[in-house]
Chains A and B, each alone.
Chain A
Amino acid sequence: MFRFRLYVAHNTYNSGQALANLTALCRTWLPGRHEIEVVDVFREPQRALADGILMTPTLVRLAPLPIVRIIGTLSEAQPLLPALGLGSAAA
């Protein structure tokens, strides 16, 4: 089971892109075995501070360990999949 947490800033353009890309990625690679939690830094600034989030959108892979952080819209699959530990395994 993959657990992701995506830090966004309202529905700003990049945050929206990141959420859309993450959702599509999970549907393709991890159907039925992922959880996505979305944290809006404007609504929960303390949580972002506690988690050390400096920028949005930031994706955190909570499981499987180790924790991986990726900043950006998640639009480039080539470097993204190995970083999340997905592409090679599937290939």
Chain B
Amino acid sequence: MSSATAEVSSLIEDLCRTEQRLKELTGGEVDTITDRDGRTFLLRHAQEELRHSEAARQAAILNALPAHVALLDSRGVVLSVNDTWRRFAGVGAGINYLEVCDNAVIADGIRSVLDGRANTFSIEYPCPSPEEQRWFLLTVTPLAGDHPNGAIVMHLDVTAERRTEESLRLSESRFRQMAENIGEVFFLQNLDSSEIYYVSPAYERIWGRTCESLYENPASWGDSIHADDLHYAFGKFKEGRNSGFDYEFRIVRPGGEIRWIHVRGFPIVDDAGKPYRTAGVASDITQRKLASDTLRESKRRLSDVMDNVEMVSLMLDTNAHITYCNDYLLRLTGWRREEVIGEDWFERFLPFDRGDVRSVHAALLADLPSSSHHENEILTRAGEKRLIQWNNTLLRSAAGEVIGTASLGLDITERKQSEARLRLQSFALNAAANAMIILDRDFRIVWMNPAFTELTGYSEDEAIGSNVRELLSPGLHDAAFCKEIRDTIVGGETWRGEMTNRRKDGRLYPEATVITPVKDEDGTISHFISIKTDLTVERQMEAQLRQAQKMDAVGQLAGGVAHEFNNLLQALMSMAAIIRLRAATAEIATIGTEIELQIRHGASLTQQLLVFSRRQVAQKSALDLVKQVEKASVLLERLIPETITVVVEISPGPLMIEGDEGQMQQVLLNLALNARDAMPSGGTLMLRTGSTSGEVFLEVEDTGLGMDEATQAHLFEPFFTTKEPGKGTGLGLAVVYGIVDQHGGRIDVRSHPGEGSRFRVILPAIRSDGVPVALPSAVAEITSGSGRVLLVEDDKAVREGIAELLEMIGYEAIAVASGEEAIAIALDPPPDVLLSDVTLPGIAGSVLGERLRERWPSLKVVLMSGYLEEKSRADAIDRGWHFLQKPFEVTDLATHLGAAMNAR
């Protein structure tokens, strides 16, 4: 034993030294060492430190506890207490807790744990204190170990918990009280409805089932739901299980009675926010539901009516903001409902002329009777105007207060347009210049316009109801023509054509007619429309046009003939003059004179032809027609036989025209002589003058034979005569026509066979202060002259004749056939006068005159022409030249040459 003790003592010494050495080596910074076998040794100083820190930690924990903690030994003596205990009880270690405890139950409990009879003991007890009632929880726990060697006693202040619990109990009792007394069913269940935690007693009243039956069989909730709503109700429930639900459904009570239920519910969530229960309230809404369904149904029906009716339905509040409108308004205007509801009606739909309509709205709100009906235009979204006829009424609240207006509006745009169109059409028909009639199927006139009366002379009283054919054309049209018209129009086609009808006064008139059948809705012809155009004036115009064209053609012909004749006569005239002047005997001289007379007669004929063809030049001046008539009447006295009475009716004042006096006299004489010839067995010849607006006229009227229409049609044509051969040339009236036409006038002829004739010559008037134009006076004497005359004439006979005449009257004549020759010929000394025809094959007379005057500036020019045109003459005179109208006599030639030579 001693050796063993010595060895132990030696080992301990080694241990101490080893530890000391290790500590030195590691500076005290190492806690453990490990040997090669992996055995780890905790160094002793580290063990002590560890133990010390562990105890300190535990004490700290104990002291930090809010509970009062004491450690008892097996006898109940307090070994230690924590700070809380110490502060509370003041008692420390050393006393026997069992002895100081004044509560027997607690003492017994502690004892049972200390004895090992109980594993733990706990009790909640009240602890009265002066300030307030406090509650404590006492826990006794045996100290660890196989057998009892003490216990830990802990008092915990649970006053707060106790209060919470108390209030919870109170609120639960209140909830229960409430839940059991309210009319609604309150329920609490798990999420899938497989367990009902609570359902309030109202369930029994509403559902007609006991609460117990639901607790026992939660699925009976679903059983009670009306079959039609089951799917819907479960769907809604599932959908809202995690977020809340609110829906309505029907249940069937055990007796078969149906009730409407409104259920609202919400999830109850745990601390993590996860739903774990569902709470809800279900109420019986059967009464309300039935009432609202009825109301909704009636509203729906009304709304259906409003939406389907083809009228605008509109409600405005007192500020004219739209509170309701039906679909029709939206369809009509193109706005969407959300764009109009709440908007100002006038701003939205009446961006123009709002004032008037606003005042209607104001009047309506003021309950003025005038405002219940009106029309106004509204504007669609696209900017189109629609005319609406409104029917307005006031809206009042139940209390009778005005809350707005309601209006029904009919879109009358089309109706108005068609009314306006009809009015226009009716106006047009009545105003139309064309006669129009509407016939029924039996061709009786049922309608006519005023132009029809104008055309036919029949008034409405006379025409309406009459058969159109019997009225206008009895016996005028043959059966085939009538059948053609009838077949066309009865066959549904339009007939167009011309026909002659008879006026009420018996006169016939031509008309263009269009007859169109009118079909009713099913395609049957109900009426015919006949439109008539009076062709009387057109026919007259056509006749006049034809006449004018004919006269023009004849005039050209006559003019051409006259020109040729003039050249012929000019040659003859020259030769006759030579015969006369150079006659060997007086007898031959007389023959020459006779030839000249006959040539002059021929020249006067061609002169008249030229006048007719308007190629004679009128020497116009201001003339008083009255004086002309007076002058002519004096002349006529010698020409009119005594069997004819001449009556002159002249207007008091002067009647001024611009005219050629000679031609006017010729007109008067020609007309008067014709009148005379029309009255072979005597009668009255009347000469009249007069004036109408801007025009003056002279009339020559006889009481003679008169003329039929055929004669009147050819009256003014040259060589047309009704007289016996040899009695007239047929040029008299043609000349009158030519003269009047040249004076800008016209001739009106009235004549019927056996009733005499009246010729009225109508001429444009001028003012009475018109300046008369002086007429050149003719010189009859032959004046001889001297000088060189260059004669240019393409017609050989004429050229030779004139050349001879020139020499006879003392001139030296150099005759060439063309302008080219005249230019080519070298003359020295130069000629004094150029005598040239106007119309030449090459260079014209006027051009030739210009050219030669360039060469010989002092050259005088005399132009001559068989045509007599205003222009050629005017051109010649404008240049200061002379002009000779063919055929001219030797005296004319001598006069013009003499005048030309003498001019400087």
Contacts and interface: CB of A to CB of B under 8 A. Distances in A.
Are A and B bound to each other?
yes
B659 to A, nearest CB: 132
Nearest to A74: B29
Interface stretch (B32-40, B205-213, B286-294): B32-40
B38 A48 contact: yes
Interface stretch (A5-13, A22-30, A77-85): A5-13
A8 B38 CA distance: 14
A12 B29 contact: no
A14 B29 contact: yes
8 nearest interchain CB pairs?
A49-B38, A12-B31, A72-B29, A9-B32, A13-B49, A56-B32, A55-B30, A73-B29
Contact of B40 (A14, A42, A57, A72): A42
Given A9-B46, A12-B42, A13-B49, A54 B26 contact: no
A72 B27 contact: yes
A10 B53 CA distance: 12
Interface string A28-61: 0000000000000110011011000111110000
Interface in B4-62: 26-34, 37-40, 42, 46, 49-50, 53
Given A14-B29, A42-B40, 14 more contacts: A12-B32, A12-B49, A13-B46, A13-B53, A17-B29, A45-B34, A45-B39, A45-B40, A46-B38, A55-B30, A56-B31, A56-B32, A71-B30, A72-B29
Interface residues of B, number: 18
A46 to B, nearest CB: 7
Contacts of A54: 33-34
Contacts of B37: 49
A79 to B, nearest CB: 12
Contact of A13 (B33, B34, B50): B50
A82 B34 CA distance: 28
Contacts of B31: 8-9, 12-15, 56-57
B29 to A, nearest CB: 4
Contacts of B27: 72
A14 B29 CA distance: 6
A15 B26 CA distance: 13
B626 to A, nearest CB: 139
A13 B29 CA distance: 9
20 contacts: A8-B31, A9-B31, A9-B32, A9-B40, A13-B46, A14-B28, A14-B30, A14-B31, A17-B29, A18-B29, A42-B40, A54-B34, A55-B26, A55-B30, A55-B34, A56-B30, A56-B31, A57-B31, A72-B29, A73-B29
A9 B37 CA distance: 17
A49 B35 CA distance: 9
Nearest to A9: B32
B34 to A, nearest CB: 5
Contact of A71 (B26, B28, B38, B42): B26
A89 to B, nearest CB: 26
A57 B32 CA distance: 8
A22 B50 CA distance: 21
Contacts of B33: 54-55
Contacts of B42: 9, 12
B34 A57 contact: no
A8 B31 CA distance: 8
Contacts of A48: 34, 38, 40
Nearest to A53: B34
A15 B30 CA distance: 8
Interface of B: 26-34, 37-40, 42, 46, 49-50, 53
Contacts of A75: 29
B210 to A, nearest CB: 64
A11 B53 CA distance: 10
Contacts of B29: 14, 17-18, 57, 71-73, 75
B21 to A, nearest CB: 13
A1 B842 CA distance: 128
Contact of A72 (B30, B38, B39): B30
Of B28, B30, B37, B38, which is in contact with the most chain A CB atoms at under 10 Å from its CB? Answer: B30
Of A8, A56, A57, A71, which is in contact with the most chain B CB atoms at under 10 Å from its CB? Answer: A56
Contact of A41 (B34, B46, B50, B53): B34
A56 B39 CA distance: 13
B195 to A, nearest CB: 48
Contacts of B50: 10-13
Contacts of A56: 30-32
A14 B46 contact: yes
A45 B30 contact: no
Nearest to A14: B31
Nearest to A7: B32
Contacts of A55: 26, 30, 32-34
Contacts of A42: 40
A49 B49 contact: no
A48 B39 CA distance: 10
B74 to A, nearest CB: 32
A12 B877 CA distance: 157
Contact of B32 (A11, A17, A41, A49): A41
Contacts of B28: 14
A42 to B, nearest CB: 7
A72 B29 CA distance: 5
A70 to B, nearest CB: 10
Contacts of B38: 45-46, 48-49
